Structure 1
């Protein structure tokens, strides 16, 4: 069973009378959330964090721009709620609650874009947030600046300002190379 899962993800190939062989990284399904998480604890974790940040830089500003044109009140309210929860969690020093609200914020944003292809990429964004463990984005460490960018995104979406939403998201996704990275513990499966 385990080998079938690994084979389905492109990690290994199992053949009768040949055995099981690890496939080259170029054959792996690198967008699979499990592989993203597994690679976060391997020797190429820094490269992966950079690649995930670059992918998020491509996905999320576009999602913010598209979401500004889809004025769904229920999602707008939930985005505002997530900003409020993040602010409260930050004030309490509760990084776990902040992180959960942050992940929900980004998932809602992608959902609000109204693009099913982007929605399929939301697992990548979620996995990137989970494994980043450092300054890949402004979201990684709760702070006033990060909170302000989230609020600007929510405000721009509520007012239907696509350009402001995209710009605010780009500001949120700024890299902070001077902060030491901390790798989170892997999830139990």
Structure 2
């Protein structure tokens, strides 16, 4: 096993405890201060139970303290529909419910506004925006949708988007191969092979995500490059141990290897074909490709 493979597999195991297992609730602790009566805000009753639908934290907000935690919780509530369109969000109520300062509430609402989830206007206040205004390509929103009531639609849409993006990226990447990039892609395939043999799904999924992200980045198209984060988010929510979906397979490994070989040979057609075969193997894609869905 290469040094890179060993390092990556060790790192994945050491951080595995940060992911919630099936049925676990990943709630953030808002401790009650001794001797202080918690204010009851009817608008937020049962919020914690509703937030339990999501089994893990979003990578984009993990480890950012109260600000990131509040963005996570409010974002989940909006995306799940618990806070419906045009619902007013009163900063004072939010601060009391989650026991955070006005500064934390204000900064969190600004983040949600940038994602298109809320809008703030003078004399109107802050309100939840309709789905049509959301930035549906935002990685946080992708994950919130994928682990909420809209999970089936989100995973289907992500699968269709990958089918549109990645075969083209594979073809283009074949014409922009560099030795260090080819080596890195080969390393990822090697890591996936060792992880598959050892039943290490977490390491497999992380190497898989890096493989696809790197491939898009070397396609030589800056607009496609900006979509690499979407593909990574799609991989995180469409398979692997976190979501409880099917474990990585030998067929998936073989197709990754064929893509890497085609890129090394600068064979764009073969790389595109191998990518299409890989995507069709994936159970989420298999339900929507190649037949169009009925309206």
TM-score after normalising by structure 2: 0.57
Deviation at 1:20, TM superposition (A): 2.2
Task: Tell me which residue corresponds to 2:208.
Answer: 102
In structure 2, what is the Cα distance between the partners aligned to 1:111 and 1:17? Answer: 45
Say which SS state the counterpart of residue 21 (structure 1) adopts. strand
Equivalent residues of 1:133, 1:140 under 8 A apart? yes
TM-score computed with the length of structure 1 as normaliser: 0.87
Structure 1 CA distance, aligned partners of 2:149 and 2:215?
A: 32
CA RMSD in angstroms comes to 1.7
Matches within 5 A, 1:88-99: 88-99=194-205
- 1:176 maps to 283
Question: Who is 1:166 aligned against?
Answer: 272
Q: In 1, Cα distance between the equivalents of 2:138 and 2:196?
A: 31
Alpha-carbon separation, structure 1, partners of 2:247 and 2:134: 30
Higher relative contact order (CA 8 A, sep 6+): 1
Distance 1:118 1:144 in 2: 28
8 Å contact kept, 1:82–1:104: yes
The one of 176, 189, 197 aligned to 1:70: 176
Instruction: Give the drift of 1:39.
Output: 1.0
Residue in structure 2 matching 1:129, options 217, 235, 238:
235
Does the CA contact (< 8 Å) of 1:132 and 1:140 recur in 2?
A: no
State the Cα distance separating 1:141 from its structure 2 match.
Answer: 3.0
Query: Once the 2 structures are TM-superposed, how far is the Cα of residue 15 of structure 1 from its aligned partner?
Result: 2.3
Task: Give me the whole-angstrom Cα distance separating, in 1, the residues matched to 2:170 and 2:226.
Answer: 16
Distance 1:12 1:70 in 2: 41
Q: 1:104 to 1:41 in 2, by over 3 A?
A: same
Which segments of 5 or more consecutive residues in structure 2 lack a partner in the other structure?
1-106, 287-295
- Give the Å deviation of 1:140: 6.3
* 1:157 and 2:157 correspond: no
Q: Does 1:34 align with 2:140?
A: yes
Q: Where in structure 1 are there 5+ consecutive unaligned residues?
A: 180-189
Q: Deviations over 1:124-158 (max 9, x none)?
A: 00111111137xxxx96311100000000000001
Q: What is the match of residue 149 of structure 2?
A: 43
Provide the secondary structure at the position in 2 that maps to 1:69.
coil
Mark the structure with the bigger radius of gyration: 2
- Which residue is equivalent to 1:82? 188
Answer yes or no: is the 8 Å Cα contact 1:129–1:140 preserved in 2: no
Distance in 2 of aligned mates of 1:75 and 1:69: 12
